[in-house]
Amino acid sequence: MTKLFLIRHGETDWNVQRRYQGHADTELNANGITQATKLQSVLDGQSFHSVYSSDLRRVMQTATYAGVDESDIVKESRMREVSFGKFEGLTHDEIEATYPDDFLAWGANRENNVHGGEDVRDVFARVRQFYVHLRDHYAGDEPVLCFGHGGTIAIFLATALGADPSMWWQFHVKNTAVTIINLYEMGSQLVQFNDTHHLRG
């Protein structure tokens, strides 16, 4: 069994403005830094075999503000957020106004790569690769810690729990939320989901 802690990055200005971020290398805002700093209360006293993080700045910042030494972090591009191509930096309403035909096609089927970014099926494949690596490589070791994004964490959970990856949108992950999942060879067990008690002090 591999015990995995999954943590989403802290808040950014684009989160507040509800802009699609994807591969855009945005930074934490002041509230996001505060959220990440409060994660220290969750991680203090925990021992981890390995620490992984998406290589995008907002996630790496979250890990370091949470007290993780950057030299201990393995940058993991497979946990990057989905690339939304020309939709990145835009809100839902701005996408609809700027690219009305693409917006309709995308709304009908999110696997339509109308934005020119990343094919969501490729995202499913890379996240599954990482899931299999963790499950098989760390069995019986100390827990593993991974910092990521709302989208890729949700896809990871759908994959690990045996759901169709296209159902990822049903897992809503909050900024700096802590999720714990046990990975077994025969399946996975969700122990804790979307916990943000550290933000309430």
Check if 133 is active-site: no
The whole-angstrom separation of Cα 71 and Cα 86 is 34
Catalytic (active site) residue 172: no
Strand 178-184 to 187-195 pairing = antiparallel
Q: What is the CA radius of gyration of the chain?
A: 17
Pairing of strands 73-75, 178-184: unpaired
Separation between Cα atoms, residue 112 and residue 103, nearest integer Å:
10
Q: Which of 11, 76, 81, 88 is catalytic?
A: 81
- How many residues in the chain? 201
At residue 145, the 3 state secondary structure works out as: strand
Q: Is 93 exposed, middle or buried (0-12, 13-18, 19+ CB in 10 A)?
A: exposed
């025969």: which residue's tokens?
Answer: 186
Locate all alpha helices (DSSP H) within the chain, ordered by sequence: 13-17, 30-38, 40-43, 57-65, 92-98, 100-108, 120-137, 150-160
Q: In this structure, are residues 28 and 36 in contact, taking their beta carbons and an 8 Å threshold? A: yes
Catalytic residue, candidates 9, 115, 149, 198: 9
Q: Which residues are annotated as catalytic?
A: 9, 81
